[in-house]
Amino acid sequence: MINSLKRTLRKIRGVFLSKIYRQGDVLVKKIKKLPKRVKKLETDVIVMGEATGHAHRIQNGSIYSWGSQMYLEVYSGGALVHEEHSPIELEPGIYEVTRQREFDPITKRDPWVID
C-alpha cells in the first residue's frame, strides 16, 4: 500500500514538474532525449497556420521528426515564435511537439485546432 502510494506520488510530481509550454495550437513538452530513429528537418517551421498562413517556428533550434511526431532540440537563446503570439523562451533541451485537437461531440470528429 505504501509503495503504491509512493509510485503514484512520483507520477504526479513528474507531471507537475514537467516543462510544458503552449502557443496557440502547439504544445511542447520537455523530454529527456530524442528517440533513436528521428530525422533532422531542414526548416524552422514547426506548424504552418492553416487559417492565417502564419507559422509556429523555432528560433535557435532544430526540428526532428519520426513519422508524424515532431521534436525540437533547443539551443541557448531558443524560443517558440509566431506572428500572432508572444514569443516563448525555452530553456536548452529536447522537446516533444503536440498539435492540439478539439473534439466535437455532435459530429464526433476531432479536427486539428486551427491557429
Q: pLDDT tens, 75-106?
A: 999 999 999 889 999 999 999 999 865 556 66
What does the pLDDT read at residue 53?
77
Under DSSP, is residue 89 helix (H, G, I), strand (E, B) or coil? Answer: strand
Contacts of 67 (CB under 8 A, 6+ apart): none
The answer to whether residues 112 and 27 touch, using CB atoms and an 8 Å cutoff, is no
Domain count along the chain: 1
Residue with cell 533513436: 36
- Tell whether 105 is covered by a domain: no
pLDDT value for 17: 56
Q: Is residue 58 assigned to a domain? A: yes
Per the domain annotation, does 11 fall within a domain? no
Dist. CA 74–CA 62, nearest whole Å: 7
* DSSP bridge partners of 28: 21, 97
Q: Print the SS3 string covering 29-87.
A: EEECCCCCCCEEECCCEEEECCCCCCEEEEEEEEEEEECCEEEEEEEEEEEEEECCEEE
Question: What is the domain extent for residue 53?
Answer: 20-99
- Whether 10 maps to a domain, the answer reads no
In a domain, 108, yes or no: no
For 16-68, write each residue's pLDDT tens digit. Answer: 556 899 888 899 999 999 999 999 999 999 988 766 778 999 999 999 999 98
Query: For cell 508524424, what's the residue?
Result: 68
